[in-house]
Amino acid sequence: MSPELTGFTNVQKIAPTIIVDLRYATTNNFTHQVIYDFTTAIVRTGTAHKLAAANQALATLGYRLKIWDAYRPVSAQKRLFNVYPDLEFVAKPNPNFSHQKGVTLDLTLTDLAGNECPMPTAFDDFSPLAHRDAPRTAIQNHYYQILNTAMTQAGFVGYENEWWDYRDTDMASFQPLAADPNDYQ
């Protein structure tokens, strides 16, 4: 992978219409604790370009992406795992994995005004209803398919147990890398 793609990028710098609402920067998450001290969503630059392509495709259909989590330091993963050590829904701390190396996003779909579309569950609903093969209502399935098509066509793969978790298909090409998102505002 070229060196220009392996650093970190603030996703809103290349896709300003993406909404960022980092839930672990607030107490509005499953831990009820503030997990980290930043509100800027960063991912590896190659991943950011793919995300911008997904958001652009969605814009033509009248939708936007809303990000709930992006790069997550290993220290934050430790806090999440301490509260909910269930590998189905929270990964073990590991600098070479997923959010912790900046190749994964937790996200949902909104309309152009920023209103969230109906999806299978709330964010971090750690129940079987979050699984990608769970039964969905027709309306939930409609919006899920719009999101899933845009993300997979842009080069992401969805984690089977969480409908909101999308990983760069090139994730294995990225070596571990840490950053402070506050440096990318």
Ligand X SMILES: C[C@@H](N)C(=O)N[C@H](C)C(=O)O
As annotated, the active-site residues are 162
Q: Measured between alpha carbons, how far is residue 154 from residues 127, 163, 168 in Å?
A: 27, 16, 9
Q: Measured between alpha carbons, how far is residue 100 from residues 48, 63, 113, 119, 144 in Å?
A: 15, 28, 31, 25, 25
- Residue 168 within binding range of ligand X, rule CB under 6 A: no
Total residues interacting with ligand X, rule: CB under 6 A: 11
Cβ–Cβ contacts within 10 Å for residue 137, how many? 10
- Residue 124 within binding range of ligand X, rule CB under 6 A: yes
Closest to 35 (Cα-Cα) out of 44, 24, 43: 24
Footprint on residues 50-89 left by ligand X (CB under 6 A): 69, 80, 89
Helices (H), the chain: 11-14, 45-61, 74-83, 138-154
Radius of gyration of the chain (CA): 15
Contact 147, 140 (CB under 8 A): no
In the bound state with ligand X, the residue whose beta carbon lies nearer, of 88 and 111, is: 88
Among 98, 108, 110, 121, binds ligand X (CB under 6 A): 98
- Residue 90 within binding range of ligand X, rule CB under 6 A: yes
In the bound state with ligand X, the residue whose beta carbon lies nearer, of 90 and 147, is: 90
Per CB under 6 A, which region of 58-66, 91-99, 111-119, 130-138 contacts ligand X?
91-99
In the bound state with ligand X, the residue whose beta carbon lies nearer, of 69 and 168, is: 69
Binding site for ligand X (CB under 6 A): 69, 80, 89-91, 98-99, 106, 124, 162, 165
